[in-house]
Chain A
Amino acid sequence: MKKNRLIALALCAVLLLSLTVSFAAAEEDVPTFRIIVSANVNTDDLNENEFLKDLAEQAGVRIEYECVYTDWDTRKSVLLTSGDLPDAFIGWNVLSNSEVSYNLPLFANLGELISEEATPNLYAALESDPTYRDACSDLDGNIYYLSDRMPFRPSTYASFLINKTWLDKLGLEVPETLEELEEVLIAFRDRDPNGNGEQDELPLYMNLSGDEAWSIAAFMGAFGCSGSITNYFALDGDTVVYQPLTENFKEFMTWIAHLREENLMPAELATVDDSQFNARLSNETPIVGMTTLWDKSPIGAAYQDEYIAIAPMAGPNGDRGVASNIAISAYDCVPKFVMSADCENKEALMRFIDLCFIPENGVQCFYGPIGTVLEETEDGLIMVDPPEGMTWNSWKYKYAVNGGWPVLGDENFEALFAEVPESDSAKLEMVAVNEPYQNTNTLPKLKFTPEETDELSIVQTDVDTYVTKKMTEWFANGGVEEEWDTYLQELHNMGVDTYVSIYQAAYDRQK
């Protein structure tokens, strides 16, 4: 097969050569680059992607992709050390920020290669979107990698889903406050809303740890804690607040423990794994009353429509909000493209990358070539339905390194579409209810110096683990009030202050 592919490639090359007679002389030494891609397993061999071939040809280069599908972290560390670097890396999570800044001699300073003449499209992208420029800049202000801006991102993550059929059946309204919510949950618990005669309902079924999209953290907004996308950090003005240290958090955990005590949340939440968690959501008969999810897909297909997204509820002091995370959602500030310092003819490779910043090309880099995943209609592009047996999520990776290619998914990019691509629309529809309650003063994605990262690695592990542990224990056994002071003391002992001050310093640098 490999041989066939090579022959096919060779044939193509010969064909091209004969067709473009006028460029025949130049074709002789087309600069060739090796790019290692950390790819999704669903992604087909990029070497066979006609669109990318065309793009390379336009730039006058040839690119050989080597896709790595599994265990990227291990492969990466030997690649970096062996000195056998490819010309460039592309992909999601291809290298971390600190891996780049730790190893600067290995990588090309892209800033020196970007100019209005050499890379007009990339240059324009960086000029038009300062946030994007920041996302690509290292702490010293230089550009050693290109990140991306993702299109069609939700501005909040949290999505409360409640079983509307149960509400209607029991004659209840959508809860607006936590108090009302509790009444609803009690009714779910006692009045057999799924009508099977058994008390098998799990009124509130949510993960105990994780960020707002997934877990009970979505309720933190009701206690004035909103803003917890990143490890429970939030902003109060310009001050970084580690919420697990606050009275608000204490109140929040007391409430959660109370729900558990009343059997409104099942004890098993403390010990379930993902498989079991999802299995409850897709039980034969619906048993979950309310949950929070990224989208509805884990819910049993037969009764998915019974669940509706609802707005965040108001807490005891009238707080009502969710963290806006547009900053993190669209710009994750992570390297998506890094060029090796040893790459010969860096300018030529940049010509290729520059082409990806033309929106018409960007969409095809991001979703897949027109004619495969995308289709052109009169009103613009649409995303074709995935073939039988394939999910939207696998589909969008089939011909593209979705979320791992340097592109700018701005308004011009989004405007090419006739409608929001199906793979993104479900989430956007769900979070629309959050709109009025967004708290926009939230932490951006922070960048740390190598020294800070070193220091963080232990402190953050200790503190995060301890907080998660205490949250689970309080959930299972209560005791927030009694243990609160020792808990704070423990956190201080393990260095929570260092943790917070590193975050504060990083924020001050970046704001």
Chain B
Amino acid sequence: MSSSLRAPVLRPRKSFGQRLRLDLSRHWALYLLVAPAVAVIAVFSYAPMYGVVIAFKNFRPAFGILDSPWVGLRNFERFFSSYQFTNILTNTLGISLYSIAACFPAPVILALMMNQVRNKGRQRAIQTITYMPHFISVIVVSGMILTFLNVNTGLYGHLMRALGVAQPTDLLASKNLFSTIYVLSDVWQHTGWDSIIYMAALSAIDPSLYEAAKVDGASEWDKILHIEIPALVPTMVILLILRAGGLMNVGFDKVFLLQNGLNLDRSEVISTYVYKVGLINQQYSFSAAVNLFNTVVNFAMLALVNQIARRVGETSLW
């Protein structure tokens, strides 16, 4: 935004090499600062990346990655032509979109609300409490969901009967409610934690803006709308882009632990399916192919949302 100030305005066009040299000499300090990051990524992320070829091979450990036989797209075909493919793809996308719709705005709202608490001690206490659930392991959370929602012995059952419902519906047995249970428990577990980043962004708001608003006689609501939300937008956009890049990732553990014969139609997602296929025999190549498919979709989604964000606003990943 501000860079234009320093950018040369009128100069004869230089070749790419010249410009690069100029840039390097001007910003050498910056490039030095980023060098460790570039190096770490080069070694630990790019160097092993040749491993994606496993998806196109019939990988057998004895032969190693490079010497295992090529099978072309066979692993992908197996996945796409599997009987369950359409179903698990739909389920995965459905749960994922639902999850974005619910889990994305919640921390923003929570952060805005917490920011209204003027008492520092109380604010800190509320935040510490709301971020705690993040640390409960998925296994325990799933166990708690099953215990709480049990229609006979759970909190839910007791509550419903206390309210006079003699035969409450079994939430766990309903396939239509599966995604809601999944998403709401995610909201419960991660909203507090996710709001931390927004709290940090709110704390960076220039206090002079508030003072100006006070002079203008703005209401609290106006302040939220015109000062705080705009301050959060860049972070929101970035997090939304990143989330779009996780479209195909629906956490394995919780889905698996909450699955039962009655909700299977809606609860079988890509990760649980690949796990079950792999149980019968270690399917290195098959799961590599599925992962690659997920990755490509994720990357495409990220690029798409990023592009939209660039067009609409000024924040984007690149």
Q: Do chains A and B touch in the complex (CB under 8 A)?
A: yes
CA distance A15 to B150 in the complex (A): 63
Known interface pairs A270-B261, A271-B170, A271-B262; A460-B280 also in contact (CB < 8 Å): yes
Cα A462 to Cα B78 in complex, Å, equals 13
Q: Do A457 and B277 touch across chains, with their CB atoms under 8 A apart? A: yes
Q: Select one of B62, B262, B276 contacting A461, CB under 8 A.
A: B276
B248 within 8 A of A: no
**What is the interface size of chain A, counting residues whose CB is below 8 A from a CB of the partner?**
43
CB distance from A308 to the nearest CB of B (A): 27
Structural contact, B62 and A268, CB atoms closer than 8 A: no
Partner of B147, one of A98, A103, A267, A276: A276
Q: Which of B241-288 contact A (CB under 8 A)?
A: 257, 260-262, 264-265, 268, 273, 276-284, 286
| Residues B276 and A465 in contact, CB atoms below 8 Å apart | yes
The answer to whether A80 touches B83 (Cβ under 8 A) is no
- Asked if A267 contacts B170 (CB within 8 A), the reply is yes
- Nearest to B78 among chain A residues (CB) is A458
In the complex, whether A273 has a CB less than 8 A from a CB of chain B is yes
Q: Mark A174-213, 1 if CB is under 8 A from B, else 0.
A: 0000000000000000000000000000000000110000
Given the complex of chains A and B, what is the CA–CA distance between A268 and B167 in angstroms? 13
Q: Would you give the 0/1 interface string for A97-139, flagging 1 where the beta carbon is closer than 8 Å to chain B?
A: 0110011111000000000000000000000000000000000
Q: Is there an interface contact between B64 and A462, defined as CB atoms closer than 8 Å?
A: no
Residues of B within 8 A of A105 (CB): 62-63
- Collect the chain A residues with CB atoms within 8 Å of residue B146's CB: 271-273, 275-276
Give the residue name and chain of the B residue nearest to A475 (CB).
Answer: B261
Surface stretch bound by B, among A60-68, A219-227, A247-255, A466-474: A466-474
Q: How far is the CA of A102 from the CA of B57 in the complex (A)?
A: 14
**Chain A residues positioned under 8 Å from B277 (CB to CB):** 457-458, 461
CA distance A261 to B281 in the complex (A): 38
Q: Is the CB of A96 within 8 A of B281?
A: yes
A478-497 interface bits toward B, Cβ cutoff 8 Å, 1 = contact, 0 = none: 00000000000000011100
Q: Which residues in B have their C-beta under 8 angstroms from that of A456?
A: 280-281
B95 adjacent to chain A (CB < 8 Å): no
- In the bound complex, residues from chain B placing their C-beta under 8 Å from that of A495 are 83
Q: In the bound complex, what is the Cα–Cα distance between A460 and B172 (angstroms)? A: 26
In the complex, A271 Cα to B260 Cα: how many Å? 6
Q: Is the beta-carbon distance between B152 and A266 smaller than 8 angstroms?
A: yes
Whole-angstrom distance from the CB of A458 to the nearest CB of chain B? 5
Q: In whole Å, how far is B58's beta carbon from the nearest beta carbon of chain A?
A: 8
Is the CB–CB distance between A472 and B143 below 8 Å? no
Complex interface residues of chain A between 53 and 99 (CB less than 8 A to chain B): 73, 77, 80-81, 83, 96, 98-99
Known: A81-B61, A102-B62. A469 touches B282 (CB 8 A): no
Contact partners of B150 in chain A: CB under 8 A: 268, 271-272, 276
List residues of chain B with CB within 8 A of the CB of A209: 261
The smallest C-beta distance from B178 to any residue of chain A, in angstroms, reads: 11
A345 within 8 A of B: no
| Complex Cα–Cα for A102 and B63 (A) | 10
Contact among B82, B262, B284 with A476 in the assembled complex (CB-CB below 8 Å) = B262
Given contacts A462-B84, A468-B261, contact A96 B276 (CB under 8 A): no
Chain A binding site: helix, strand, loop or mixed by DSSP? helix
Choice from A461, A469, A493 contacting B273 with Cβ under 8 Å = A461
Q: Flag if A469 contacts B60 (CB, 8 Å).
A: no
Chain B nearest CB from A109 CB (Å) reads 14
> Chain A's nearest CB lies how many Å from the CB of B198?
36
Q: Is B151 an interface residue (CB 8 A)?
A: yes
**Chain B residues with CB below 8 A from A376, complex form:** none
* Majority DSSP secondary structure for residues of B touching A: helix
Q: Which chain B positions have C-beta within 8 A of A106?
A: 61-62
* Cα separation A472 to B84 with both chains bound (whole Å): 18
| Interface flag for A454 (CB, 8 Å) | yes
Partner of A469, one of B78, B173, B261: B261
Instruction: Give the residue among A272, A457, A472 with the most B Cβ atoms within 10 A.
Output: A457
CA A472 to CA B147, docked complex, whole Å: 20
Residues on the B chain within 8 Å of A270, using CB: 173, 260-262
1/0 per residue, CB under 8 A from A, across B163-180: the answer is 000000010110000000
Query: Across the interface, do B173 and A102 meet the contact criterion of CB distance under 8 Å?
Result: no
Give Cα A102–Cα B260 distance, bound, in whole angstroms.
34
| A44 CA to B62 CA, complexed, in Å | 31
A453 within 8 A of B: yes
- How far in angstroms is the closest Cβ of chain A from B186? 19
Contact in complex: A104, B62 (CB < 8 Å): yes
Cα(A472)–Cα(B262), bound, Å? 6
Chain A positions within 8 Å of B143 at CB level = 273, 275
Q: How far is the CA of A105 from the CA of B68 in the complex (A)?
A: 13
Does chain A have a CB within 8 A of B102? no
Taking the complex as formed, is B65 at the interface, i.e. its CB lies under 8 A from any CB of chain A?
A: yes
Given the known inter-chain contacts A270-B260, A494-B83, please indicate yes or no for A81 contacting B282, CB distance below 8 A: no
Q: What per-residue 1/0 map shows which CB atoms of A417-431 lie under 8 Å from chain B?
A: 000000000000000
Which residues of A are found within 8 Å of B172, using beta-carbon distances? 271
- Asked if residues B65 and A81 are in contact (CB atoms below 8 Å), the reply is yes
Alpha-carbon gap, A14 to B257, bound state (A): 54
Give which listed residue, B61, B65, B84, B281, contacts A454 with CB less than 8 A.
B281
**Given the complex, which residues of A lie within 8 Å of B286, measured CB to CB?**
457
Question: Which chain B residue has the least Cβ–Cβ distance from A468?
Answer: B261
Give CA–CA (A344, B37) in the complex, Å. 44
CA distance A266 to B153 in the complex (A): 12
B257 cross-chain contacts in A, Cβ below 8 A? 273
Closest-CB distance, A157 to chain B (whole angstroms): 21
Closest-by-CB residue of A relative to B265 is A469
**How far does the Cβ of A374 sit from chain B's closest Cβ, in whole Å?**
36
CB distance from A339 to the nearest CB of B (A): 14
- Bound Cα distance from A334 to B158, whole angstroms: 48
Instruction: State the Cβ distance, B48 to closest chain A Cβ, in Å.
Output: 12
Residues of chain A within 8 A of B64, CB atoms compared: 81, 83
Q: Are B280 and A208 in contact (CB under 8 A)?
A: no
The residue of chain A having its C-beta at the shortest distance from the C-beta of B149 within the complex is: A271
- CB pair A103 B280 closer than 8 Å: no
> In the complex, which residues of chain A have a beta carbon less than 8 angstroms from the beta carbon of B261?
208-209, 270, 468-469, 471-473, 475-476
A contact residues vs B (CB 8 Å cutoff): 73, 77, 80-81, 83, 96, 98-99, 102-106, 208-209, 266-268, 270-273, 275-276, 453-454, 456-458, 460-462, 465, 468-469, 471-473, 475-476, 493-495
**Top-9 shortest CB links A-B:** A472-B261, A103-B62, A80-B61, A494-B83, A271-B172, A457-B280, A81-B61, A106-B62, A469-B264
Query: What would be 14 A-B contacts, judged by CB atoms less than 8 Å apart?
Result: A80-B61, A104-B62, A209-B261, A266-B152, A268-B152, A272-B146, A272-B150, A457-B277, A458-B277, A461-B277, A461-B279, A462-B82, A462-B84, A469-B261
Task: Please give 16 more A-B residue pairs, beta carbons under 8 A apart, in addition to A98-B281, A270-B262, A462-B83.
Answer: A80-B62, A81-B64, A99-B61, A99-B282, A105-B62, A209-B261, A266-B152, A267-B173, A271-B173, A276-B147, A276-B150, A457-B281, A460-B280, A472-B262, A472-B264, A493-B83
